[in-house]
Structure 1
Amino acid sequence: MAYDLEEQEQLASLKSWWSQYGNLVTWLLIIALAAYAAWTGWNTYQRNQATQAAQLYEELQKGVTAKDNQKVQRAAGDITSRFGKTAYAQMGAFAAAKSAFEAGDLKAAKTHLQWVIDNGSDEYKAIAKIRLAGVLLDEKAYDDGLKLLSGDFPEQFAGAVADRKGDILVAQSKIDEARAAYKTALDKTNEQNPARQLIQLKLDAIGGAAKAAA
């Protein structure tokens, strides 16, 4: 009998606790289960997105290999419009920009590079800005190119940015400023980087005094 009374007291205590906190516990459980389901669903969605984007990117690369610019442009457009949050979209935009540039379609090349600038990660944005500045250089849009290179860039791109500035300044016949830009490019470029040799050649061509790395 004592056991039964103790058991009844525990049951009464449990009922009292549940009456006070039951709804809260139920809602917390529902929220936890919903969050887990959402997390699982999102991961599945992301994997599916990446798989489909990878397939389109493979088609794009086939177009690059075949030098089929139209195929490259179509595939890149599909990737950026349907799978814009994946890394394949950024890589596809770069490939499409290069293909368009080689085909003489500077407008399309600029559009792809601008897409990366607007939607890419910091590293991809930096590369896109440097490349777009090169396209603007070919179009003789010098001020636009320099403006594009005037913002903040990750430190690892400092040498490439200064190098591109030097190219634009040479085209503007601003030799002293170009010389300073190329010297900065040398200072910011690792001595093991093969790009240093080209920077040094350009600096020497405009009468630079910096010595090439040993």
Structure 2
Amino acid sequence: MATPLDLEEQEQLDQIKHFWKTYGNLISWLLIAILGSYAAWNGYQYWERTQATKAAALYDEVERAAAAGDVARVERSLADMKDKFGSTQFAQQSALLAAKTLQAQGKTDAAREALSWVANGASDKAYRDIARLRLAALQLDAKAYDEALKPLSGEFTPAMVGLAADLRGDVLQAKGQTAEAIAAYQQAWQKLADTPDYRRLVQAKLNALGIEPDAAVLSETPK
């Protein structure tokens, strides 16, 4: 037989009832929000994994088309990749690979468009910089010197600064701006200290212009 609640227990029960009546709905909604956020996060993680798997499969298609030299397939696969998975790194890799194939097949405008898409929209700075360098080189080959300088004018990641300066020197030299070209080559020579083979190439360019980079650096050192 149940014993009646004593006064203290009854008071505690009343307090619990009052608390739940006052805050019960708020607590319930908070729990729903928390559980909903957790479920949404799990769902997003699953969606991201699924998207990555699909993007990887489509990248394989771009790669196979590029290896076969099938330009139509390359362009079609790249368009699908940009449309469906444009925010992924697979899309950026696909555009760089497609640009190489398109350029080799003489489709310069299409290659330029693919590189511009990466250069202007890549979330990964390394891919962005690679695209900018290749875009500038493509414009240099086309003798579009002012256009070649545009992708080289922005900030580059430390690993790419020397390469960008060297290419800028090539463009300026092609434009006949020798003094500016020398300054760019000197910057490249200084930034490429960790890549001696490439640095020797830059030094050869400076030597051909009558400049010894070691002497130039010494002359600029404060006394």
TM-score higher than 0.5? yes
Aligned to 1:91: 93
Partners of 1:123 and 1:134 lie apart in 2 by 17
The equivalent of 1:35 in structure 2 is 37
1:57 matched residue in structure 2: 59
Residue 7 of structure 1 aligns to which amino acid in structure 2? E
Query: Alignment RMSD, CA only?
Result: 1.8
**Matches of 2:93 and 2:139 in 1, distance apart?**
21
Which one-letter code corresponds to 1:196 in the other structure? R
Equivalent residue, structure 2, for 1:144: 147
> In structure 1, what is the Cα distance between the partners aligned to 2:96 and 2:176?
30
Deviation track 1:116-162 (CA, whole Å, cap 9, x = no partner) reads 12220222222211211111112222112213211222222210110
Matches within 5 A, 1:89-168: 89-121=91-123, 122-168=125-171
SS at match of 2:213: coil
CA contact (8 A) 2:203 2:212 kept: no
Q: 1:74 maps to which residue? A: 76
Decide whether the 8 Å contact of 2:122 with 2:128 is kept in 1: yes
Task: Give the aligned length.
Answer: 211
Q: Distance in 1 between matches of 2:65 and 2:134?
A: 21
Cα distance in 2, alignment partners of residues 68 and 57 from structure 1:
15
Residue type of the alignment partner of 1:11: L
Counterpart-to-counterpart distance in 1, 2:73 and 2:199: 36
Aligned to 1:22: 24
- Match of residue 190 from structure 1: 193
Q: Is the 8 A contact 2:103 2:111 kept in 1?
A: yes
Instruction: Name the aligned partner's letter for residue 148 of structure 2.
Output: G
Q: What is the identity percentage for the equivalent residue pairs of Structure 1 and Structure 2?
A: 44
TM-score normalised by L of structure 2 = 0.87
Whole-Å separation in 2 of the counterparts to 1:193 and 1:51: 40
Q: Distance in 2 between matches of 1:65 and 1:53?
A: 18
> Comparing 166-175 with 49-58, which one deviates more in the overlay?
166-175
**Does residue 173 of structure 1 match 2:176?**
yes
What does 1:4-23 correspond to in 2, within 5 Å?
Answer: 4-23=6-25
117-126 or 1-10: which moved more? Answer: 1-10
Tell me, which stretches of 5 or more residues in structure 1 are unaligned? Answer: none
SS at match of 1:112: helix
Out of 46-55 and 191-200, give the one that drifted further.
191-200
Structure 2 counterpart of 1:200, from 188, 200, 203: 203
